[in-house]
Amino acid sequence: MKRIVVGKHSDITEKRSRVVNVDGIEIALFKLSGGEIKAIENKCPHKGGKLSEGIVCSHHVFCPLHDWKISLENGVVQAPDEGCVNTFRVEIGADGDLILYYNNRAEHAS
């Protein structure tokens, strides 16, 4: 598993996102209320909408194309729609670095 510094915690405004590219995969980093960071693949499984452009509500993001509701915790699309996106573990270092843990294989965080 790779450990990659992808920015600073202060780089992302609360309830906003930032996009990073890791090994050709776009990953959206979201800062939730309270400062928690979540990372998911920046591509809705429905029509490929950029999730980084969606609206964040609690621990979900709504795809900007067709309003699919996707969990930022585990990447699962909420009913009545179906599907999932890859999620990635992120830690905040002592110096405020955002550390992304990435595996070349698709992973589904639980």
Give the pLDDT score at 105: 52
Give 84's contacts (C-beta < 8 A, 6+ positions apart): 45, 74, 75, 76, 77, 108
Give the pLDDT score at 101: 93
pTM for the predicted model, two decimal places? 0.87
- The SS3 of residue 10 is helix
Decide: 14 and 31 in contact? Cβ < 8 Å: yes
Which sign, positive or negative, has the C-alpha torsion 66, 70, 75, 76?
negative
What is the domain class of 2-102 according to CATH? mainly beta
Beta strand 87-92 pairing with 69-71 = unpaired
Read off the DSSP letter of residue 31.
E
Amino acid type, 8: K
Residue 71 has pLDDT above 90, yes or no: yes
Give tens-digit pLDDT for 14-59: 888 999 999 889 999 999 988 999 999 999 988 889 999 999 988 9
Write down the mean pLDDT value for the chain. 89
Residue 110 has pLDDT above 80, yes or no: no
Amino acid type, 16: R
The strand pairing partners of 97, in sequence order, are: 8
Q: Other C-beta atoms within 10 Å of 13: how many? A: 9
Confidence of residue 104 (pLDDT cuts 50, 70, 90): low
- C-alpha span between 82 and 23 (Å, rounded): 27
